[in-house]
Structure 1
Amino acid sequence: MPSNKEKCSFWQQRYLISILGFVALAISYVQRFCLSLAITEMADGHHQHSLKNSSQICKSEIQKSGNLSVSIEKDLEFDWDEKTQGLILASFFWGYVITQIPGGMWADKYGGKITVALGVMFSSLGSLLTPYVARIYGPTALVVLRLLIGLAQGPLYPSLNRLLASWVPIEERGRLGSLVFAGAQVGNVLSMQMGGFLMRYFDTWTSVFYIFGSLGFFWLMFWLLIAYNHPNHHPFIGSKEKRYLSEAIHTHDPEDMEKLEIPWKEIFKSRPVWGLIIIHIGHDWGLFAMITDLPKYMKSVLGFSVAQNGLLSGLPYILMWLVAIGSGFMVDSLIASKRYSITLIRKIFVTIASVGPAVGIVLASYSGCDKMWAVFSFTLGMGLMGTFVPSLKVNALDLSPNFAGTLLAIVGTIGCLSGTMAPYIVGLMVPNSSLEEWRSVFWLSAAILVITNVVFIELGSAKVQPWNETKKRKYDEENDFKNFTPILKPL
C-alpha cells in the first residue's frame, strides 16, 4: 500500500476526475438556475404596490409623489405574469426527474463518463438556444426547452455518484464527495453573482445564456480526455495509485456489472432507502424553492437592483460551498477516529443541513425591511445546508456502492418531485409578492425541512445493505453448470 504522501499527491487521477466532476456540476447548476435571476429582468410580474401598503415592500427610496399609487416596475421585454414565470422555472424539473433512473442504470452498467458528457453537452446547447426560443416562440416553447435541459441534466448526479464509487475509498469519501457535489453551490453563486454582473455589464439578460452555455463545451474537451469509468481502464494512472485503489475499493468494474442484477424489490423494501428518499424531498424543496425564488424576493420585497440582487442572492451559496468543503474534512476525520459510527455522523450532519436553513429563512421573514438582517439570516441559514454534501449526498454510496448510480437516481427522482412543484406552488402563494405571502412560503419550507429530517433520523443508516451483492440467477446457474464435476461411482 502506498504511503500517505503518495496517496495525497494532487496529480493523482481520482483528484483530477473529482475536480472535473466539480466543474461539471458547477456549469450545470449555472445553466439550471441563471434563469431565476435573468427572469427578473425579462418579464413583468404585473404587481404594483400602493404607498399605503409600503410596509409590504422595502424600497431604498420611495418616490416623493402626490400620487397614492407608484409603480416600481420598469418596461420589460416579456409580458408574463407570476403564474407563467412559475411554470417556466418549474419546467426544468419535469424533465429532470424523468431521466435520473435511466441515467443511473446506464451509469451502473456502462460507467458514468459518457452519461455526464452527454448531459453537459445538451444542457449547454439548450442554454445557448434560450434567448432565441424565448423571443421567437414565446413562453410555451421556453417551457419545452427548459424541460429538455432538465432531461439532459437528470443523469448527472447518478453518473457522478457511480464514478465516485469506482474511484474514491471510504476514508476520502467525505472530502472528495464534498469537492464534487459542492460544484452545485459554486454554480449557484456564479449564476447569481456573475449573472448579475454580466447583465449589468452587457446591459442584456441574454449574455448569461451565451457565456454559460459556451463554458460547457469548453469543459467537455478536458472531460473526454481525462475521465475514465474505472481505475483499471485509465491509461495515465500511476501503478501506486492503481494498487491503492484496488485494495481500498471493492466496487465492481462496470464491465463486470453483467454479473449483478438490480434488486428492485429489496431496494424499495429498505428502510434506509426510504429514509434517504424522504430527507431528499425536504432538502430539494428547501434548496430549489430558495434558488429559484430568492432573487424574486430580493427584488420585489427588499427592493434590490439586479446587480445587488445577483451579489446578495449568491452569498448563501458561497457560505454553503465553504461549509460543504470544511464539513467534508470533518466527516472524514470523525470516521478515521473510529469513535463514532458512520451512521451517527451522517445523521448529525444531515440534521444541521435541515434545521439550520429552517431557522434562517424563518428569521429572515420576520426581518421586515431590515435588509442587512434579512441577508444575514438567509446567508447563515442556507450556508449551514452545506453539511448535506458529505452526509446526504454520499449516503447512497454507503448503502450500495455497486448500485450507487441507480440508487441515487431513484432517491433523486422521487425527492426531486418536490423541486418540480416548489417554484410553481411558490408562484401561486405570492400573487402580489407581499411580505406576508412570502412569510407563508418560508414557514412551509421550514416545516418540510424539519419533518423530513425527523424521519431520516428514525430510518436512515450508513451500513452497506445485503442486496448490494445481488447476483443474476442466470449467471450463477451457468457458472454452476460449468463448474459441475460429476462424481462417477464405480459399478
Structure 2
Amino acid sequence: MKKSKELFSCRDVLWFLVFCGFAINYMLRLNLNLTIVTMVLPYPKPAAVVQCNVENSTLFWTNETSENNNVSSSSSITTPSSENVTYEDRFAWNEYEQGLVLGAYYWLHWLSQLPGGLLARRYGTKLVFGLGNLLVALLGFFVPYASHLYALISLRMLQGLIAGVIWPSMHNMTAKWIPPNERSRFISAYLGSSVGAAITYPLCAAISSFLGWGASFHVTSLLGVLWYCLWQFLVYDSPQQHPRISDDEKNHIMDNIAKSVDEEKTQIPWRSIILSGPLWITIAAYWSSAWGFLTLMTQAPTYFNFVHGWNINATGLLAGAPHVLRMIFSYFFSIMSDWLLRTKRMSLTNVRKLATFVCTGVQGILIMALGFSGCHPLFAVVFMMTSTAVNGAISAAMLTNFVDLSANYASVLLGFANMIITWAGFISPAVVGKLTNNNQSVEQWRLVFLIAAANSIAGGIIYVIFGTSKEQPWNQYDKLKEREMQKLAPETIKTDNGIENTKTDDTEKINFIEER
C-alpha cells in the first residue's frame, strides 16, 4: 500500500523545534537585559533632554505613560517627578555594577563552547542541546530570589556556563540532517534566537509592569520546560534513528550529504584545526559581527531608557522589534543564498563573502550612523532596527561556513570559535559600563557605538579579502591519515604462492604480515 505524502517532513519539524529551541535560549539569556531597567533606581532625566534641549518626542512615551499610570514604580522608569516615588523592590546599582550583571552570563560561557561540540559528537545533539536549555530554564526560576548583587552574578555565570553547549552542539545535527544546498535556509532556524529576543523584551516589559519584575523570569523558564517536552518526543540525532521518517526523505538526505565518518571513533585533527588559516579568518569575521550585534542586543534597552527616556513598555517593544526583522531578513537572505548556489550563479565562497559583507560591513556602517543620531530618536530607532536586521545574513555567512570548511568537525569548529567569540559578550558590557559609569551622555554612547562599528567593519574586510568556503583537507582526517600510512608502509610484492611479502628485512616482513 502506497504511503500518503506527509504534510511536514522530519526536516520541517526539526527546523521548527530548533527554531523554538534557540528562541528559548535567547529568552533565558536576555530576560535580564530588559528587566534590569525595572530592577535599578531610575535617572531623574534622560540624557537627550539635558544635552539636546528636546522636550517633545523623546519624552512622549514616558510622559504619556506616567499620566495614565500615576507614575507607578513598575510601569514608568524616568519621569520628572520620579524623585517623589519610592522604589522598595529596586537596587542601587551603578552603571559599572549593571555591566557586571549583564556581562556575568558570558564570563564562563566560553568554557563550555568546545566541550559542547565534543559532547554532541559523543552523546548526540538531542541530549546536549535539550538538557542545556532545560537546566538553564530551571536555574531561571531562582533568579528573582538572588537579591544580592554577587548572588545574581553567580547564578547568571552558572546559567551561561551551561548554555555554552547549546550553539556548537547543533552544528553536529545540521551536518547529519541537512544537504549542503539546504544548509543556509536550515541554519536560519538558529536565528529563532532573534524571535526569542523579540518576544522576550515586550513580554518581560508587560509582565514586569503588571506582576513585578520577578515574574518575568518565572514565565520564560516555564516556556523552556514546555519546549523541552516537545524536543524529547519529536527530535532524533540522525535520519537513521528517526522512527517516523519516510524512506523517500531518508534516501534524499543520505544521497545528498557526504558520507560522514563515525564521529565517536574518529580522532580530531586538533593541530590542523588550530593552525587553519581559513578557520581563523572565519572567526575574525564572526567576532566582528558578534561584537556589533551583542552591543545592540544587550545595551538597547539601557540606551533608549537612559538617553531617550523611553519607559519600560516602549523600550520593550523598541528593543524587540529589530529581532523580528533580523529573523525575516535571515530567512529570505538564506533562501536567496541557496538559490544562488543551486543555479550556480555564484560560487560557494562568493556567496559566503556576500553574506559576510552584509552582516559585518553594512552592519558596521549602520551602527556608526546610530552613534551619530544621539539627539534624534527617530533616526536612532531606524538605524538600530536596520543594523540589527542585516545581522541576519550571518545564517548564510560564518555560521554556515563552519560546516562548509568541515562537515565532519562542524560542532568542534563552532565550539572552538564560540569559545573565543563569547569574550565579546562580556567585554562589550564592561566597556559600556566603564564609558557610561555616572556619565549617561550622548557623547559616551556615541563612543560605545563607534567601537562596535569599528569591530564590525574590520573583521568583514578581512574575510572578504582572504576568506574561503572550500572543504579543508583535514575534514577527511581518517582517510588522509590512511593515505599517509600507506605511503609510509613498506612496498609489498606477491610471491608465487599468493602470500604478500615486503622488500624489507625479515623482522619487518614478519611484523607486516602479522598486521595484515
CA contact (8 A) 1:251 1:402 kept: no
Alignment of 1:37-186 (within 5 A): 37-44=34-41, 53-55=50-52, 58-60=58-60, 75-76=86-87, 77-133=90-146, 135=147, 138-178=148-188, 180-186=189-195
Percent of matched pairs sharing the same residue? 30
Determine whether 1:18 maps to 2:18: no
Structure 2: which amino acid aligns with 1:391? A
Alignment of 1:419-438 (within 5 A): 419-431=425-437, 432-438=439-445
* CA deviation map 1:109-152 (0-9, x unaligned): 3321100111011110121111012x2xx010111110111112
TM-score by length of 2: 0.85
Gaps of 5+ in 1: 64-68
Deviation at 1:462, TM superposition (A): 1.1
Q: 1:366 to 1:473 in 2, by over 3 A?
A: closer
Structure 2: which amino acid aligns with 1:113? K
Aligned counterpart, 2:260:
252
CA contact (8 A) 1:356 1:382 kept: no
Alignment of 1:445-456 (within 5 A): 445-456=452-463
Matches of 2:298 and 2:316 in 1, distance apart? 12
Which stretch shows the higher mean deviation, 314-323 or 49-58? 49-58
Alignment of 1:400-439 (within 5 A): 400-431=406-437, 432-439=439-446
Aligned counterpart, 1:236:
244
* CA deviation map 1:295-332 (0-9, x unaligned): 00000001101000000111211111110011011011
Root-mean-square deviation over aligned CA pairs: 2.8
CA contact (8 A) 2:48 2:307 kept: no
Equivalent position SS for 2:313: helix
Larger radius of gyration: 2
Q: 1:392 to 1:27 in 2, by over 3 A?
A: same
Gaps of 5+ in 2: 67-78, 500-516
The count of residues paired between Structure 1 and Structure 2 equals: 470
Deviation at 1:257, TM superposition (A): 1.7
Structure 1 moving runs of 4+ over 3 Å: 45-54, 56-63, 69-76, 472-480, 484-491
Aligned counterpart, 1:66:
none
Structure 2: which amino acid aligns with 1:238? S
Determine whether 1:292 maps to 2:305: no
Aligned counterpart, 2:206:
197
Aligned counterpart, 2:231:
223
Aligned counterpart, 2:469:
462
Deviation at 1:288, TM superposition (A): 1.2
CA contact (8 A) 2:173 2:237 kept: yes
Equivalent position SS for 1:228: coil
Deviation at 1:12, TM superposition (A): 1.3
Deviation at 1:201, TM superposition (A): 3.3
Aligned counterpart, 2:513:
none
Structure 1: which amino acid aligns with 2:276? S
* CA deviation map 1:83-123 (0-9, x unaligned): 11101110101121110101101112332110011101111
TM-score by length of 1: 0.89
Equivalent position SS for 1:344: helix
* CA deviation map 1:404-426 (0-9, x unaligned): 11011011111221112111111
Equivalent position SS for 2:315: helix
Deviation at 1:488, TM superposition (A): 5.8
Matches of 1:326 and 1:81 in 2, distance apart? 41
* CA deviation map 1:198-229 (0-9, x unaligned): 22233x11121010100111011111111111
Deviation at 1:44, TM superposition (A): 2.2
Matches of 1:328 and 1:50 in 2, distance apart? 39
